[in-house]
Structure 1
Amino acid sequence: MSRVLNWIDTLFFGVRRIFAAGVELPERPALNFIGAICTDNPAENRTDVFIPGAWLVSPVVTGTYAARPGELVRVNAHDPVTIRLPPAPRNVGAEILVKEIAGEEEAIQVVAGKGQQVARAAAPRVTIRLVSDGATWVVI
């Protein structure tokens, strides 16, 4: 009977056991990520957790693309490409790297959310490194 109840508990409430280096931690009703950047992602009904130092790599982008914090966005801009940035205030200290791998770097447009700006250098670049300062995305 105990096994059936454990299975039903897992079915309804999901996996709740968390291990740190193989040692089970006490069960708690919440998680607190320290040193990570957590972003609500309502479009995909999830919370994204980015741990600095662990880069994501996009597929090769040839159109409009929504970049994520800590992502290397690879672009083939033979045609115009638009890179949409996540909200700067929720991603303080996060980096996004946009790398042109073929085509024309002038065809890359980087846009921020409503009411936010992208502080860009005047000259086009083959690589664009963006860092959120909490108010805007700054090109470094």
Structure 2
Amino acid sequence: MVTDNPAENRTDVFVPGAWLISPVVTTSYTARPGELVRVNAHDPVTIRLPPAAGNVGTEVVIKEVAGEEEAIEVLASTGRQVARAGSPYVTFRLVSDGATWVVL
């Protein structure tokens, strides 16, 4: 699946069964389906998830990789907070059930 993502100035390509790996994120970022989002939370970071609808069974993993302790906030595409943490090396593993993102 290929979609235009003008908000992030990129074109997203999703290959079922393949993981995407983000550059190290230090500011707000929109995750893609099937992505490992690497975060350096030197300052608070907000990660917005793709829509849960149409992504049933898809995972997004968010990992703080620098040992920083600032908050990482995870938002659904609707703006609802899904998760939040502020500890070093925190990991969020999320799976879409088609209606929402479930934190595992």
TM-score band (shorter)?
Answer: 0.7 to 0.9
- Amino acid paired to 2:55: N
Question: Does 2:97 align with 1:133?
Answer: yes
> Is structure 2 residue 1 aligned with structure 1 residue 41?
no
Against the structure 1 CA distance between its residues 116 and 40, is the aligned structure 2 distance closer, same or farther, given a 3 Å change threshold? farther
Q: Which residue of 1 aligns with 2:46?
A: 82
Q: Compute the displacement of 1:51 (Å).
A: 1.4
- Using the size of structure 2 for normalisation, the TM-score is 0.79
Q: Are the equivalent residues in 2 in contact too, given 1:99–1:128 (CA < 8 A)?
A: yes
What is the TM-score of this pair, normalised by structure 1? Answer: 0.60
State, as a whole percentage, how many aligned pairs show the same letter: 61
Point out the structure with the larger strand share: 2
Distance 1:131 1:61, change over 3 A: same
In structure 1, stretches of 5+ residues that fail to align are 1-37
Higher Cα radius of gyration: 1
Contact kept in structure 2, 1:74 and 1:98, CA below 8 Å: yes
CA separation in 1, counterparts of 2:64 and 2:85? 17
- CA drift at 1:40: 3.9
- Structure-2 change in CA distance of 1:45 and 1:58 (3 Å): closer
Aligned residue pairs: how many?
100
Give the conservation status (yes or no) of the 8 Å contact 2:73–2:81: no
Aligned pairs (5 A) from 1:18-57? 38=1, 40-41=3-4, 43=6, 48-52=13-17, 54-57=18-21
Spell out, residue by residue over 1:66-110, the C-alpha distance to the aligned partner (whole angstroms, 9 max, x if none).
Answer: 100111100000100000100001211100000011211x51000
Question: RCO greater where, 1 or 2, for CA within 8 Å and sep 6 or more?
Answer: 2
- Match for residue 66 of structure 1? 30
Superposition RMSD on alpha carbons, in Å?
2.7
